[in-house]
């Protein structure tokens, strides 16, 4: 790749392609990336950038993983595509590999092409199984994807584009266990008795026709909201008491991201349906997975399953996932996420001591959120949801652009939060590089802090 090609490439990309989730004028000069290695991306000038959020929290195994690449090549030489209605060795082996890392009860799968599709499939399965119940409880700070059902479940401002022309009478909002910004006004999450769960129980007792509770196990894009320790055990009991399904969206938090295969393992609670994607292939090939409890799955032995995808069980995705599971198992990456994740959390909390613009730091494993505020006492944010939708300048974007100058890419800058989630291959030296870049760039926000 020649540097002089940059202008041509960037001009053609921005002319013909849309930048996602943004006002288009903000996407005037994207980096021209030509390769990647480990936790780093490389631009056309040969400069290396630490990817401090694994792109969209998806390239869990980093760039250039030989095992996954070779598995994809081998499958291309054998069979590049086959419709979903056939048996093949790679489908059998990949499904068996997936079953081996999940709870025994989650033993039946639908594969698709994205987390959005995986969530669509979960919605359909839950509502069909619980018919005539059809409502689904979802949080205000959630994100579940950009297809019709998934975006309707989504609580953040990305749903605004569909609310006027998509029926959302089946979605019921429940509060988040967002202790830093408690929806009930408590300053200490130990004092509230988990009022968010009490409110959820009130809804279950009074709403009627509820089929499922649908949650990101740890809220992702909207700030890495980690619930209190007893939240999920109590929620599981509520779901059982009111006979509704519990669905966990682990599109971001799965595949070693939190220091375990899946985040629900931290609380010893299993869902009835699990959705995941991204890290299943380290995003080398698109994939979506909906894993279903055996009892729920057996319902469809004699009932029509209203699901189908052209790219379901795609041979390349199956090959990539099987190889990725071997890599996670043998490479020590999940243990590394736990170990280096502790170091990342420590370094981020040190930043909070130095920068008054940081209101809160929270996370687990290699999945951390840094929330910016203009005023720590009032918790006033620099920007609002409306600012994002209206295309106003965001403080997080200014800081992320500054970090590029220091050789660090942080794409997951959403309104007033950074999602810091580097590939699971990172070292403590990599963490130091990323944190030091953030340290210097935060001076931009510190200058506008009010107290």
pLDDT in tens, 293-342: 999 999 999 999 999 999 999 999 999 999 999 999 999 999 999 999 99
Assess contact for 59 and 423: CB atoms under 8 A. yes
Distances (CA, A) of 83 to 91, 310, 315, 413: 12, 7, 9, 38
The whole-angstrom separation of Cα 275 and Cα 291 is 6
389 versus 131: the higher-pLDDT residue is 131
- pLDDT at position 92 is 98
Instruction: For the full predicted model, state whether its pTM sits above 0.85.
Output: yes
CATH fit for domain 66-331, picks 3.40.640.10, 3.40.50.800, 3.40.50.300, 3.20.20.60: 3.40.640.10
Q: Is 307 helix (H, G, I), strand (E, B) or coil?
A: coil
- Domain coordinates of the chain in residue numbers? 31-64+332-446, 66-331
Neighbouring residues of 96: CB distance < 8 A, sequence distance ≥ 6: none
- pLDDT at position 398 is 96
Sheet order of strands, 245-249 included? 106-112, 288-293, 273-277, 245-249, 210-216, 135-139, 171-174
Q: pLDDT band for position 21 (50/70/90)?
A: confident
Name the least confident of 15-24, 170-179, 194-203, 395-404: 15-24
Mean pLDDT over each residue of the chain, to the nearest integer: 95
**Hey, do 31-64+332-446 and 66-331 end up sharing a CATH topology, with the first three levels equal?**
no
Considering Cα of 134, then 139, then 142, then 148, what sign does the dihedral take?
A: positive
**pLDDT per position as a tens digit, 96-113:** 999 999 999 999 999 999
Residues 141-149, mean pLDDT to the nearest whole number: 94
Angle at 108 between CA 233 and CA 102, to 5 degrees: 50
**Residue whose pair of structure tokens reads 């070693």 in the numeric block:** 256
Fold held by 31-64+332-446: 3.90.1150
- pLDDT at position 2 is 52
**pLDDT per position as a tens digit, 209-233:** 999 999 999 999 999 999 999 999 9
**pLDDT per position as a tens digit, 359-398:** 999 999 999 999 999 999 999 999 998 988 888 999 999 9
Of 53, 26, 29, which is closest to residue 43 (Cα–Cα)?
29
Residues 261-279, mean pLDDT to the nearest whole number: 98
Q: Is the pLDDT of residue 43 over 70?
A: yes
Q: Is the pLDDT of residue 162 over 80?
A: no
Residues 223-245, mean pLDDT to the nearest whole number: 97
- pLDDT at position 1 is 46
């Amino acid at each position: 790749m020649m540097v002089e090609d940059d202008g041509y490439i960037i001009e053609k990309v921005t002319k013909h392609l849309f930048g996602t989730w943004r006002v288009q004028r903000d996407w005037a000069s994207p980096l021209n990336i030509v390769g990647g290695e480990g936790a780093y991306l490389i631009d056309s000038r040969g400069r290396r950038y630490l990817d401090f959020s694994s792109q969209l929290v998806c390239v869990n195994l980093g760039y250039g993983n030989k095992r996954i690449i070779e598995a994809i090549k081998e499958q291309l030489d054998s069979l590049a595509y086959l419709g979903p209605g056939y048996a093949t060795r790679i489908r059998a082996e990949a499904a068996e590999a997936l079953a081996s890392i999940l709870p025994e009860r989650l033993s039946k799968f639908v594969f698709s092409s994205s987390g959005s599709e995986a969530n669509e499939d979960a919605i359909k399965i839950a509502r069909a199984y619980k018919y005539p119940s059809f409502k689904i409880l979802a949080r205000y700070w959630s994100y579940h994807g950009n297809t019709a059902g998934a975006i309707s479940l989504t609580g953040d401002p990305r749903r605004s584009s569909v609310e006027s022309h998509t029926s959302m009478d089946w979605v019921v909002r429940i509060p988040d266990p967002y202790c830093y910004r408690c929806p009930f006004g408590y300053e200490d999450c130990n004092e509230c008795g988990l009022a968010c769960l009490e409110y959820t129980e009130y809804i279950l007792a009074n709403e009627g026709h509820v089929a499922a509770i649908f949650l990101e196990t740890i809220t992702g894009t909207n700030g890495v909201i980690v619930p209190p320790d007893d939240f999920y055990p109590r929620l599981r009991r509520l779901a059982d008491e009111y006979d509704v399904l519990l669905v966990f969206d682990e599109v971001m938090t799965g595949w070693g991201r939190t220091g375990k295969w899946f985040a629900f393992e931290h609380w010893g609670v299993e869902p009835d349906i699990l959705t995941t994607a991204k890290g299943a292939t380290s995003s080398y090939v698109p994939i979506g997975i909906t894993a279903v409890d055996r009892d729920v799955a057996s319902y469809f032995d004699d009932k029509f399953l209203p699901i189908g995808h052209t790219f379901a069980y795609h041979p390349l995705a199956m090959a990539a996932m099987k190889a990725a599971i071997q890599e996670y198992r043998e490479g020590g990456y999940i243990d590394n996420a736990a170990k280096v994740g502790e170091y990342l959390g420590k370094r981020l909390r040190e930043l909070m001591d130095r920068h008054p613009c940081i209101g809160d730091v929270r996370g687990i494993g290699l999945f951390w959120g840094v929330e910016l505020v203009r005023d720590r006492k009032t918790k006033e944010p620099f920007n609002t949801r409306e600012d994002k939708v209206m295309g106003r300048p965001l403080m997080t974007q200014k800081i992320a652009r500054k970090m590029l100058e220091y050789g660090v890419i942080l794409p997951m800058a959403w309104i007033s939060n950074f999602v810091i989630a580097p590939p699971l291959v990172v070292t403590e030296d990599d963490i130091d590089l990323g944190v030091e870049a953030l340290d210097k760039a935060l001076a931009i926000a510190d200058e506008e802090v009010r107290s």
